[in-house]
Homo-oligomer: A and B are copies of this chain.
Amino acid sequence: MAKNIKTRADDYAQWYLDVVKAAELADYSPVRGCMVIRPDGFAVWEAIQRDLDRRFKETGHVNAYFPLLIPQSFLAKEAEHVDGFAMECAVVTHSKLQRNSGGDLSPAGELEEPLIIRPTSETMIGHMYSQWIQSYRDLPVLINQWANVMRWEMRTRLFLRTTEFLWQEGHTAHETGEEAQDETLRMLEVYRMFAEEFLALPTYTGRKTDREKFPGADVTYTIEALMQDGRALQCGTSHNLGQNFAKAFEIQFLGRDQKQHFAHTTSWGATTRLIGALVMVHSDDDGLVLPPRAAPTVAAIVPIFKNDAEREKVASFVERVLAAIVGQDEVEAAAQRLSTGEVTSYFFDKSTSQKIAVDWRDNRPGEKHFHWEQRGVPFRLEIGPRDVDAGAFVIKRRIDRAKETVSLGDASREWLREKLEATHAVLLEKARAARDENTRTAGSYEELKRILENEGGFVRCWFEPGDEAEEKIQNETKATVRCISFDQPGGSGTCILSGRETATEVLFAQAY
């Protein structure tokens, strides 16, 4: 067991932070609640971006960029929206710093109107759409933005909740309510598929209650994943905004009937929190476990040698293994590249920037294994002098330590790719089994409380959503309705709180 990582059983919250720190995914910065995403963490975000962006483009969306700063008056135009965000936004009030007579700096150049660092961009984008959209021929508008946003959170946790975070926000405008609803559900499905296919994250999908929806939306849909401590994490949301923002920002168009209509808009987003999700779902007491498609480094080669002669012997074999997997061209190109310390990197797949690392440091093999294990690298290849003699090497899988001896002739790019794909499937199945095992049904409020207290996880039950009822349950159990699942049993049952007959089954859980 790693000394720098608490066990999950010991202290789950600390375990999470230890895993993130040991893998060098992120650090807190000197600005309260703002994180630095370190190269190994950012590479995971780049992988997420690449895959999600492809899915957005394949469904007809394009990217654009809107200003960071939003006039205070814009925020105020949609009543629910401003109430949702006013209490946690960074406000720019000045445009320069000047020195006083003592030489100290202070803000100067006060602005006429305060500007807000975007907590989300419905207002700014709504304003621009009102200028761009004139006719039904201009619709649909299908734009996504990759950006940083800021919400002044009181309690922060790396990736899961930070003052500044990175995300994408899709913003679309449509001719009809039906098209907007189709889009809202289409993008939720994009998130659901992405979570499974890329992050090996099975999720529940459904609708948020009014209490939990986005400020200004008619309806919010969500994908919800289960963490290993039995708490839920919202991993992506898709909102049907109805005509709320269209009316607030006058997004109007001349319809086919030659009359003016307000557009129907949607928005949908996923954030760097996804990195927190994949850490929490897949990792273990030894540190990070990365789902292979999101792993910046897919394999680490650990040469084992005691002296220069052994090192030389091993080196030429390592080069042959590399040539078999990444190609001779890449072996030569890598030799020209700058690298930090004595770890060299080879592109396994240039289109995804995924790499294979070779750890030439003088450290003991145990320390090196430990190093790559904590970083969640899916496979480790150990190559020592005896392996060279046998013309083979040992490959060890991170998720279960499964060991295999492979002869040089069997190694290839395709060989490693298949092992990565198989690993993805194992992780997904494992996460799905854990989620299913931790989804229980409660027939009464007492049972709901008992399950939440003893086992955690998701709890299904008949429930009539409503602000008061939900608040009471949250106060008493810390759990919220995560969603009204699409997967309804049909028929009806007795609401666990009101005792009335209801056709609605919900999923409760304590959540991050």
Contacts and interface: CB of A to CB of B under 8 A. Distances in A.
Given A60-B339, A148-B148, A340-B139, A93 B67 contact: no
B107 A68 contact: no
A31 B62 contact: no
B34 A68 contact: yes
Contact of A67 (B29, B67, B68): B29
Contacts of A137: 341-342, 361
A88 interface: yes
Interface in A346-395: 350-351, 353, 361
A67 B35 contact: yes
Contact of A62 (B39, B64, B138): B39
Contacts of A43: 62-63
Given A39-B63, A164-B68, A57 B96 contact: no
Nearest to A103: B76
Interface in A44-93: 45-46, 54, 57-72, 74-76, 82, 86-93
Interface in A85-130: 86-99, 105-107, 109, 114-117, 124, 127-128
Interface residues of A, number: 88
A147 B39 CA distance: 15
Chain A contact residues: helix, strand, loop or mixed: mixed
A86 B98 contact: yes
Interface string A313-350: 00000000000000000000100011111100100001
A36 interface: yes
17 contacts: A27-B128, A29-B66, A36-B66, A42-B62, A46-B63, A68-B148, A68-B150, A87-B98, A88-B95, A90-B92, A91-B93, A92-B92, A94-B114, A138-B340, A139-B340, A140-B338, A147-B148
Given A89-B95, A91-B97, A93-B94, 9 more contacts: A27-B131, A29-B66, A31-B69, A31-B71, A37-B65, A38-B64, A60-B339, A95-B152, A140-B338
Per CB-CB distance, the 5 closest pairs between chain A and chain B, nearest first, are A60-B338, A34-B67, A91-B94, A39-B62, A37-B65
